[in-house]
Amino acid sequence: MERRELGRTGERLSIVGMGGIVVMNVTDAEAGAFVAEAVDRGVNYFDVAPSYGNAEEQLGPALEPYRDKVFLACKTGRRDQAGAQEEMENSLRRLRTDHFDLYQLHALTSMDDVEKVFGPDGAMETFTRARKEGRVRFLGFSAHSVEAALAALERFEFDSVLFPVNFVTYNKERFGPTVVEAAQKRGAGRLALKAMARAPWPEGADRPYPKCWYEPISNPELASLALRFTLSLPITAAIPPGHVELFRLAMDIADRFTPITDQEREQLLQEAAALQPIFKKAA
């Protein structure tokens, strides 16, 4: 599987990463098998968070045999220094590691989030201290808001940004281009969420993928176009939806990745025209 540089870090990540939600609520044996399969297929980027149910507990033992060969990213949703410290300690213990390759502020959504993490006794105090102590190597954040992402990038020299980069939201809402551009300008790595999202679940629809709060793309042809659209942008890697079938589909697409053509992009734009975006850019 192709690997790309993560911003200024010097690290090279597989263009598809494994999200910890894949091993949430599966057996120990399944978790071990899924991680072994991913590593065998060339995946070296793993991302998890304590808010993903029991994903940390399942991923830790499964990843332990490969820990020195992979890039492990984790997150905290806590905005205060003490809370972030506590959550980091718990995550390190559950994941059976003495350090994270990347530690991220999870889901910055509002300016209030940004003010809290950078304020007195904010989470950034934990982040910078942990980096000095060698408990984390690189610092980043994930965001679901253009405003919050741009503000965070202005305040600190983050190593990476994890952000929704999706063919519908990118083209219909222009949700994403400014964040990708700002991160690239600062030398921060660009990591993508929701590349294989289609639209919000229709009201009352059957939900065959319950780990997804949105309707994921399961059609192989459309999934290929959507994921290749995202990976044809200046993006290091994408995290697919948290169901193993969809993760395997993403690995298949990544194995034979080619940049999206102009004709294929037009096809995607026509598909997007009829779809509701899962995120909207604030006015």
* pLDDT for 282: 66
With respect to residue 280, please indicate whether it lies within any of the assigned structural domains: no
The pair of three-digit structure tokens given for residue 182, joined into one six-digit string = 């700002």
Q: What is the distance between the alpha carbons of residues 257 and 11, in angstroms, rounded to a whole number? A: 20
Q: What is the distance between the alpha carbons of residues 280 and 270, in angstroms, rounded to a whole number? A: 19
With respect to residue 282, please indicate whether it lies within any of the assigned structural domains: no
pLDDT digit string (tens) for 129-175? 999 999 999 999 999 999 999 999 999 999 999 999 999 999 999 99
With respect to residue 281, please indicate whether it lies within any of the assigned structural domains: no
CATH of the domain at 162: 3.20.20.100
pLDDT digit string (tens) for 162-174? 999 999 999 999 9
* pLDDT for 62: 98
- The 3-state DSSP class for residue 21 equals helix
Side chain identity at residue 155, one-letter code: R
Which run of H or of E encompasses 63? helix 55-63
The pair of three-digit structure tokens given for residue 253, joined into one six-digit string = 């697409």
CB-CB contact of 114 with 165 (8 Å): no
* Domains contained in the chain, number: 1
With respect to residue 258, please indicate whether it lies within any of the assigned structural domains: yes
> Is residue 163 left, alpha or beta, with left meaning phi > 0 and alpha meaning psi from -120 to 50?
beta
With respect to residue 279, please indicate whether it lies within any of the assigned structural domains: no
Helix axes 123-132, 111-118, angle to 10 degrees: 50
- Residue 11: which domain range? 3-273
Side chain identity at residue 29, one-letter code: A
- Within 10 angstroms of residue 112's Cβ, the number of other Cβ atoms is 11
Give this prediction's pTM: 0.97
With respect to residue 16, please indicate whether it lies within any of the assigned structural domains: yes
Residues of the chain falling short of pLDDT 50 = 283
* pLDDT for 213: 96
With respect to residue 43, please indicate whether it lies within any of the assigned structural domains: yes
With respect to residue 17, please indicate whether it lies within any of the assigned structural domains: yes
* pLDDT for 236: 98
* pLDDT for 281: 80
Q: Which residue has the tokens 């919050």?
A: 148
